[in-house]
């Protein structure tokens, strides 16, 4: 009898704790939803107000349906001003959505050079791979995006990191039918590095 009462008391206590926690959790989810909605709507006043709350971490809120953060949203709409604003407010440039995409990988896939550069300067990892193991440089080569390739190499992207197939950016640049300007850009980056003016990529075979 005592044991049964004890179990009932524990169950009631647990239910009460859950009910007390639920409003806070719901409020946090609601605040995140409203923040991301404001970002989508380009509502600068609402976004600024949300970010001005003491101790707020709302800048890195993520959409529960797709995992997108505010940086994903503004990268998708090719908005460098908002990228700069959000990263200055502490937005994480390396967060992934549910498909494994970072804001940088989105910017590269869109050919959004200015946005990609803003993200890199804010700390986006330039060798971060997507779901297929592609680095941003490999993705840019697949798109034949010479402007993006030039920018990524300028910021130290390695042409020798491989994707899931075992091929590197250098390999793809050397395939028949590839844009010769990309192979030249890689060769120029090699020469700059070997001259001591650029980052080291590691051994090249």
75/93 same-domain check: yes
Does 5 reside within a domain?
Answer: no
Last residue of a domain, one of 93, 125, 157: 125
Name every residue whose Cβ is closer than 8 Å to that of residue 159 and which is 6 or more positions away in sequence.
137, 153, 168, 169, 170, 173, 186, 189, 190, 201
Per cent of the chain over pLDDT 70 is 81
pLDDT of residue 202: 43
Beta strand segments in the chain, E: none
Same domain, 114 and 38: yes
Condensed to tens digits (0 to 9), the pLDDT of residues 98-113 reads 999 999 999 999 999 9
Which residue reads 């003491």 in tokens? Answer: 54
Q: Check whether residue 101 and residue 144 sit in a common domain.
A: no
> Are 72 and 119 part of one and the same domain?
yes
| Mean pLDDT across the chain | 86
Query: Looking at the predicted structure, is the pLDDT value of residue 11 above 50?
Result: no
110/132 same-domain check: no
Decide if 139 is inside a domain. Answer: yes
Packing angle of the helix pair 180-194, 146-154 (nearest 10 deg): 10
Question: Average pLDDT, stretch 76-99?
Answer: 97
Using the predicted structure, report yes or no on whether residue 62 has a pLDDT greater than 80: yes
Question: Based on the structure, what is the number of domains in the chain?
Answer: 2
Boundary-marking domain end, from 125, 143, 158 = 125
pTM equals 0.80
């Amino acid at each position: 009898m005592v044991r049964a009462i004890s179990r009932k008391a524990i169950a009631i206590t647990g239910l009460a704790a859950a009910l007390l926690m639920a409003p806070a959790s719901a409020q946090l989810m609601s605040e995140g939803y409203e923040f991301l909605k404001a970002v989508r709507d380009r509502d600068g006043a609402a976004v600024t107000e949300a970010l001005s709350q003491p101790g707020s971490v709302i800048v890195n809120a993520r959409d529960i349906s797709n995992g997108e953060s505010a940086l994903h949203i503004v990268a998708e709409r090719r908005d460098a001003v908002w990228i700069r604003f959000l990263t200055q407010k502490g937005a994480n440039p390396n967060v992934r959505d549910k498909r494994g995409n970072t804001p940088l990988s989105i910017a590269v896939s869109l050919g959004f050079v200015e946005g990609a550069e803003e993200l890199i300067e804010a700390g986006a990892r330039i060798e971060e791979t997507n779901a297929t193991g592609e680095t941003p440089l490999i993705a840019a080569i697949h798109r034949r995006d010479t402007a993006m390739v030039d920018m990524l190499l300028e910021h130290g992207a390695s042409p020798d990191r491989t994707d899931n197939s075992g091929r590197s950016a250098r390999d793809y640049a050397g395939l028949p039918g590839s844009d010769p300007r990309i192979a030249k850009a890689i060769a120029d980056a090699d020469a700059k590095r070997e001259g001591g003016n650029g980052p080291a990529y590691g051994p090249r075979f």
